[in-house]
Amino acid sequence: MFRSFLVAAILLASVTSAAPRTSFAQSADRDDVATTVRAFHDALSRGDSLAALKLLAPDVQVLESGSLESLSEYRSHHLPADIAFARALPGTRAEPIITVRGEVAWAVGTSKTSGTYRDRLVNSAGAELMVLTRTAAGWRISAIHWSSRTIRTP
């Protein structure tokens, strides 16, 4: 009986020691990254370009619609269109999957958007990858890649 208990205790100890542990700091970092990503989307939905831009790193790269834009290009080109679209069709977002590795994190998420935008019926599924870096001011978005596809209904 004692031998069985000892074997079970050793197995339990080896399994729990091999299990990945999430430190409080990693959990807090993931929460902060998620907050930054949500704040960016919320700023777009509110039409607050200054708040959205504040969350972007100075060297951000935005990949959207087959193009690559710097911060200044995004500010003058896609940002106004992204705000107009987000305000007209908020859509639904799945909670992002967030990975933190030291001073860098990435958030991967999906969304669905449907409705009418500029007299055009929209029914799309989207995917998003945001890469964030830790700065003195908090987590900032260093890269965004958006893609979407039309959801065909029978």
Give the pLDDT of the chain (154 residues) as one tens digit per residue.
Answer: 545 444 444 434 444 444 454 555 678 999 999 999 999 999 999 999 999 999 999 999 999 889 999 999 999 999 999 999 999 998 899 999 999 999 999 999 999 999 999 999 999 999 999 999 999 999 999 999 999 999 987 7
Closest CA to 29 of 107, 94, 93, 95: 107
Residue 5 lies in a domain: no
Q: Do β-strands 104-117 and 92-93 pair in parallel, antiparallel, or remain unpaired?
A: antiparallel
Closest CA to 33 of 55, 63, 54: 55
When divided into structural domains, the chain yields a total of 1
Residue 80 lies in a domain: yes
The range of the structural domain enclosing residue 133 comes to 24-150
Residue 36 lies in a domain: yes
Residue 133 lies in a domain: yes
Cα 133–chain centre separation: 13
Spatial separation of the C-alpha atoms in residues 144 and 98, rounded to whole Å: 14
Q: What's phi and psi for 29, nearest 5 deg?
A: -60, -45
Yes or no: say if 36 and 132 are a contact pair by the CB < 8 Å rule: yes
Residue 6 lies in a domain: no
Q: Is 94 helix (H, G, I), strand (E, B) or coil?
A: coil
Residue 16 lies in a domain: no
CATH code (residue 80): 3.10.450.50
Residue that the structure tokens 């708040």 belong to: 51
Can you give the pTM of this predicted structure? 0.81
pLDDT of residue 90: 80
The maximal CA–CA distance of the chain, rounded, in angstroms, is: 76
Yes or no: say if 124 and 85 are a contact pair by the CB < 8 Å rule: no
Q: Is 78 helix (H, G, I), strand (E, B) or coil?
A: helix
Task: Quickly count: other Cβ atoms within 10 Å of residue 121's Cβ.
Answer: 9
Helix spans in the chain (H): 2-18, 24-46, 49-54, 71-76, 78-88
